C-alpha cells in the first residue's frame, strides 16, 4: 500500500565489488534529523533482483523517526561493518559500494537511488523509480547501479 510518513523513507544497500555479498540496512532519523542505522542489517550472500528489491522495500517500510539516536556508537559503520565480515573500516571502504534509496519527499511516491563507490566521494550515480514497482524491477535497477559503481562506468 501507500507509504505515508512524516519524512522521506530511507534504506541503504552496500554491495561488495566481487558480487559475493549485499547488505541491506534500514535508516531511521532522529527528531533532529540525524541518520541512524539500527543494529542487525540483512546480509545476503546469494540473491536475485526480486530478493534484493524485496529486502530494500522491506527496509524502506521499516524506516521511521526515532526519539533519539543512541550515543554509544564509536563507529558509524559498526552494524554494517560487522555484517560485511571485513576486518576493518578501510577494508570495507575499499571493497563495497553504497547505494542509498530514499523518498523524493514526504509523500514517498517517488524514490531516488544514489550509488557511490565508497572510495570515491565525488562520483554519484543517480536514478529514480516510482514507489510501487515490482520488487524485481527495483532489484534490477539497484543491480545496474551497483554494477556501474563497481566498474566506475559513470
Provide the pLDDT confidence category of residue 21 given band limits of 50, 70 and 90.
very high
- Strand duo 28-30 + 65-66: pairing: parallel
For 123-141, what is each residue's pLDDT tens digit?
A: 889 999 987 778 999 999 9
Whole-number pLDDT of residue 76: 56
User: Which neighbouring-strand residues pair with 43?
Assistant: 23
Q: How confident is the model at residue 55 (pLDDT cuts 50, 70, 90)?
A: very high
pTM for the model stands at: 0.87
The predicted-structure confidence for 96-108, as pLDDT tens digits, reads as follows: 999 999 988 888 8
* C-alpha cell read off for 1: 500500500
CB-side neighbour CA atoms (13 Å) of 48: 2
Amino acid at each position: 500500500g501507500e507509504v505515508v510518513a512524516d519524512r522521506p523513507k530511507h534504506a541503504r544497500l552496500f554491495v561488495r565489488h566481487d558480487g559475493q555479498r549485499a547488505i541491506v540496512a534500514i535508516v531511521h532519523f532522529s527528531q533532529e534529523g540525524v541518520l541512524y542505522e539500527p543494529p542487525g542489517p540483512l546480509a545476503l550472500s546469494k540473491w536475485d533482483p526480486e530478493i534484493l528489491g524485496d529486502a530494500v522495500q522491506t527496509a524502506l517500510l521499516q524506516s521511521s523517526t526515532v526519539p533519539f539516536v543512541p550515543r554509544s556508537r564509536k563507529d558509524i559503520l559498526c552494524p554494517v561493518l560487522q555484517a560485511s565480515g571485513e576486518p576493518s573500516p578501510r577494508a570495507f571502504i575499499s571493497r563495497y559500494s553504497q547505494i542509498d534509496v530514499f523518498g523524493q519527499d514526504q509523500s514517498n511516491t517517488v524514490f531516488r537511488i544514489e550509488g557511490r563507490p565508497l572510495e570515491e566521494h565525488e562520483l554519484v550515480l543517480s536514478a529514480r523509480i516510482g514507489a510501487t514497482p515490482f520488487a524485481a524491477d527495483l532489484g534490477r535497477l539497484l543491480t545496474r547501479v551497483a554494477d556501474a559503481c563497481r566498474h566506475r562506468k559513470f
